[in-house]
Amino acid sequence: MVQNNLLNRDIYCNFATLLNKISYTMKNHSLLTKLLCLMGIYAFTAGIVMAGSVTTTFDFSDTRALNSMGLATPTSSNPTPLNNAITIDGVTLTPSTGTVPTITYYRSAYDLYLFKNTSVTLSVPEGSTISKATFTALASSINGSANTGKLSGLNWTGSTRSVKFSATGTNTIYTISVTYESGEVVAPVLSDEFTFWPEMNNQPSATVKIIPQNGNTVYYTTDGSTPSQSNGTATATTKTLTISKTTTVKAIASNGGRSSEIVSRTYTLGQTVTGVGQFRNMQDGSIVRLYIPDDYNCRVTYVNDDGAEAYVRDNTGAMCISNVCANPMLKVNQHIAGWIVGKLVYKYGMPQFIAIDNNNTNTWFLVIADPVTETDVRPLEISADSYNEHTADWVTVNDMRVNGTSTLYHNGNEYPIYNLYDLDESSRYLPPYNGALIDITGLAVPNASGNNIVPIYENGYSPIRYVVNEDSTFIAPPADINDTDIRLARNLNANEWQTLALPFSITNFDGTILSPNQITKGGGNPVNGIEMEYAAQRSSVAGRPYIVKPNQDISNQIFTGATLKSGAAQSTWLSFNNINYGMTGTYAPYQLNDNKYYALAYRNGAPVLVGHTGQTLPGTHALITTKNILNLNGTIVTCMGDANLDGITDIADVNHIINQILQGVKTDYADVNKDGAVDIADVNDVINIILGNGPTVDIVLHSPIHK
């Protein structure tokens, strides 16, 4: 008999454990519950929720169930005392005090061991009534009594808020199921509030579920009105609604004359914007669906190492993408199209596309071109004045003056260099020297410290490019800078002679480079001028002055891999009769305030040597220390004879000198022979030049000297 009882106990225990594991799993894992329903296993627990009633089970046979009730798992030698009350789904089980029941482990099974002089009391909240209690146990009946109702075998029936079971012998109990009539009508469950967006090329729609609880009937409305038994649509089972606009769903549960609280949820049809430009114009904090057409040419300009941040640009603007669930991770140069959902957050003036959660903000509906077949993206060349129009974009900001090594200035405004991604020499980045004029390439990322520029190195575009500008003073570096990029901000006109002095060498100049070669007496010159001959060079040397004639127009030419030399501009001198003649380079605009230096200038399309007080020679040009004749590799340039500065020597110059003689006026150009007077001797010199007895001007140049 004992063996049979133990066998029965094991069978009962194993079956009860299986049954309650299924029940426990169904309560906590909705997906598994659905699968069990499909398999038919859910039939074991069907009917435990009845109309107007609730059934709760205390499971002492499963270690997870014990732990969920706050009970330690017992061992064969160490039972767990049931010292405290346990409440599940509104039902409270209270053990006796003093001598208490225990949870035991016997032959691979757990149970509630209710022995003589111990008891458990089942109770429910005020207004509710227990109608039934069912035990699963080792024996076929409970050895004990109930203080109310009827106890028969393993079943109790009655109608009470509390019932006490007192043991008169030994009881091995696996589960206790309690059915009670709830005094509270439980409100229905509605899908959580959310924002939904239309699928591509379809009408916008979303589904919402209304789920009744405890068998109650639910009344719901979708027009904003208050639901009741006399207003709204009734349902006793789960109802799925399809909505296509922003809708507020309200629902209430009823049971007889009792009702639950009203549950209200609003489901919002989100706004769709097209292109980054429209996205940037949205109100800060807006959650939108961003649609990017393919022809907007949206490209990825930068992605940081861990992929948490990416920067993109389309034809309408740029933005930063943060914490988006991207699989695969975005890469530089990728072309993207399609749509993505997220929030606009402006941070210090920069638009960020922030994920609202990984379920909604992801790249599932983006078309990401990988591998990329288009040309590499490149930075936009901008002025610092337009910085705020290009935040979050990859830009080259031109003509920035360095103060220290980390702050840039333009028109009195500061632009800090923020080396966020720790670029170093391997990324062609070294902090620029103090006083330098530079173009900086990076991301326009403002923060609390100001309008920062974050240097990046992508697609061969160096973060720092030094600028040599004829309109600005060039400040030489304290030491040579090797393998750097330099932009020459100057126009050089094709097939025209111009002076040039640069702080870097040119080895592959497309044109002719001349430097002073020798000085001789001007042959056939009626005023016996000095002739400075120039000879062709293969390349230029940093700092030295030259006269050049390019084969094609040059504007803002960029020299890569160059060496920017320290030191000032140099001079090239030649001596004649113990007097030095030559050229002097200048790295800054130079005021011509004396007769010592002259410059190659252009009047009415012809070259002349000028030295008028008040004229300014631009930087990167050179001054010439003779005002007579330049022999530019066979081409003659002079200032003599062109009294009216129209670029040619003709009868108009004779008339100009005669008018000055009659008016008693003296100008430097009318004094052709440079004897200090404007008189008939100057007229004779001009006539000789016209007749071919003096130097001629036979070259067309322009780009006048700045004033």
**Of 313, 348, 368, which residue is a domain's last?**
368
Q: Which two tokens stand for residue 143?
A: 């050895």
pLDDT at 693: 59
**Of 181, 210, 240, which residue is a domain's last?**
181
Cα–Cα distance, 510 to 69 (Å, whole number): 89
Q: What is the DSSP letter of 185?
A: P
Asked if 392 and 276 touch (Cβ cutoff 8 Å), the reply is no
The answer to whether residue 598 is domain-embedded is yes
pLDDT at 199: 65
Residue 37 has pLDDT above 50, yes or no: no
Cα→Cα distances 630→136, 279, 496, 583, 647, Å:
120, 63, 14, 11, 15
Q: Do 281 and 256 have their domain in common? A: no
Q: Do 385 and 445 have their domain in common? A: yes
* pLDDT per position as a tens digit, 367-424: 898 778 888 999 999 999 999 999 999 999 999 999 999 999 999 999 999 999 999 9
CATH number, residue 403: 2.40.50.140
Q: Do 261 and 293 have their domain in common? A: no
Residue 637 banded pLDDT, cuts 50, 70, 90:
confident
Q: Do 604 and 654 have their domain in common? A: yes
Residue in the structure block whose two tokens are 């004990």: 144
Q: Look over the chain and give the mean of its residue pLDDT values, rounded to a whole number.
A: 84
Q: Do 103 and 44 have their domain in common? A: yes
Higher pLDDT, 461 or 699: 461
Cα–Cα distance, 84 to 94 (Å, whole number): 7
Written as one letter, the residue type at 592 is: L
The answer to whether residue 373 is domain-embedded is no
| CA torsion, ordered 585, 588, 594, 600, to nearest 10 deg | 50
Residue 362 banded pLDDT, cuts 50, 70, 90:
confident
Cα–Cα distance, 342 to 282 (Å, whole number): 12
Residue 13 banded pLDDT, cuts 50, 70, 90:
very low
pLDDT at 689: 74
Q: Do 40 and 118 have their domain in common? A: yes
b/e 169-179 (16+ beta carbons within 10 angstroms → b): eebbbbbbbbb
Residue 705 banded pLDDT, cuts 50, 70, 90:
very low
Highest mean pLDDT among 207-221, 454-468, 516-530, 574-588: 454-468
Residue 190 banded pLDDT, cuts 50, 70, 90:
very high
Residue 635 banded pLDDT, cuts 50, 70, 90:
confident
Q: CA neighbours within 13 Å on the CB side: how many for 316?
A: 16
Cα→Cα distances 355→196, 317, 341, 366, 486, Å:
15, 19, 8, 15, 41
The answer to whether residue 393 is domain-embedded is yes
Residue 529, helix vs strand vs coil: coil
Asked if 449 and 403 touch (Cβ cutoff 8 Å), the reply is no
Q: Do 415 and 510 have their domain in common? A: no
Q: Do 585 and 634 have their domain in common? A: yes
Q: Which two tokens stand for residue 331?
A: 């890469």
- In sequence order, the β-bridge partners of residue 173 are 112, 137
Statement: the pTM of the whole predicted model exceeds 0.75: no
Residue 56 has pLDDT above 80, yes or no: yes
The answer to whether residue 696 is domain-embedded is no
Q: Are strands 195-196 and 263-269 parallel, antiparallel or unpaired?
A: parallel
CATH number, residue 205: 2.60.40
Q: Which two tokens stand for residue 692?
A: 């071919």
Q: Do 331 and 416 have their domain in common? A: no
Q: Do 177 and 229 have their domain in common? A: no
Q: How many residues does the chain have?
A: 707
Higher pLDDT, 375 or 702: 375
Tell me how many domains the chain contains.
5
Residue 361 has pLDDT above 70, yes or no: yes
pLDDT at 559: 95
* pLDDT per position as a tens digit, 486-510: 999 999 988 888 899 999 999 989 9
Q: Do 214 and 225 have their domain in common? A: yes
Cα–Cα distance, 703 to 491 (Å, whole number): 9
Higher pLDDT, 691 or 230: 230
Residue 294, helix vs strand vs coil: helix
CB atoms within 10 A of CB 31: 7
Residue 8 has pLDDT above 70, yes or no: no
Cα–Cα distance, 533 to 632 (Å, whole number): 6
Burial (CB count <10 Å: 0-12, 13-18, 19+), residue 51? exposed
Residue in the structure block whose two tokens are 């022995």: 115
Q: Are strands 599-603 and 590-592 parallel, antiparallel or unpaired?
A: unpaired
Residue 203 banded pLDDT, cuts 50, 70, 90:
low
Asked if 409 and 384 touch (Cβ cutoff 8 Å), the reply is no
The answer to whether residue 482 is domain-embedded is no
Average pLDDT over residues 121-144: 93
Structural domain that includes position 62: 2-181
CB atoms within 10 A of CB 630: 27
Q: What is the DSSP letter of 89?
A: T
Residue 598 has pLDDT above 90, yes or no: no
pLDDT at 650: 83
Q: Do 578 and 645 have their domain in common? A: yes
Residue 324 has pLDDT above 90, yes or no: no
Cα–Cα distance, 377 to 512 (Å, whole number): 35
- In sequence order, the β-bridge partners of residue 690 are none
